[in-house]
Amino acid sequence: GQQLNQSPQSMFIQEGEDVSMNCTSSSIFNTWLWYKQEPGEGPVLLIALYKAGELTSNGRLTAQFGITRKDSFLNISASIPSDVGIYFCAGRITSGSRLTFGEGTQLTVNP
């Protein structure tokens, strides 16, 4: 099946720091999604990207759809303790609904 490589696997940062994570694929995707999962909950959509080169923000979060269509990036600025969770990227390769997920980035924010 399709492979999405997400990095880093985990991050331990101080409150106020900026965070960057990314996903890469050997295949071209036509949609990139970023989800956040908090303990005991299901993933919740943060940002959806539909065009190569697209840069979209949601508050302190900014995500980009890579020009090659094989990667995507998520940045979190001025992190706060409630940013703690697992962040997943997901890609869609066709016009259908099936998604492929990255392994996740576990973010820990120290106050």
Nearest to 51 by CA among 28, 35, 74, 24: 28
Residue 39 touches another protein, criterion: CB under 8 A? no
Q: How far is the CB of 96 from another protein (least distance, A)?
A: 6
Report 58-87 residues binding another protein (CB under 8 A).
Answer: none
Exactly one of 26, 82, 97, 111 binds another protein (CB under 8 A); that residue is 97
Residue 102 touches another protein, criterion: CB under 8 A? yes
If the CB atoms of residues 13 and 99 are measured against another protein, the closer one turns out to be: 99
Q: How far is the CB of 111 from another protein (least distance, A)?
A: 26
- The Cβ of residue 109 has, within 10 Å, a number of other Cβ atoms equal to 20
- The Cβ of residue 96 has, within 10 Å, a number of other Cβ atoms equal to 7
Residues 6+ apart with CB under 8 A from 41: none
Contact at 8 Å (CB) between 65 and 71?
A: no
Rounded-to-integer distance, Cα 99 and Cα 76, Å = 23
Which residues contact another protein by CB under 8 A? 1, 4, 6, 9, 31, 33, 35, 40-45, 48, 50, 88, 90, 92, 95-99, 101-104
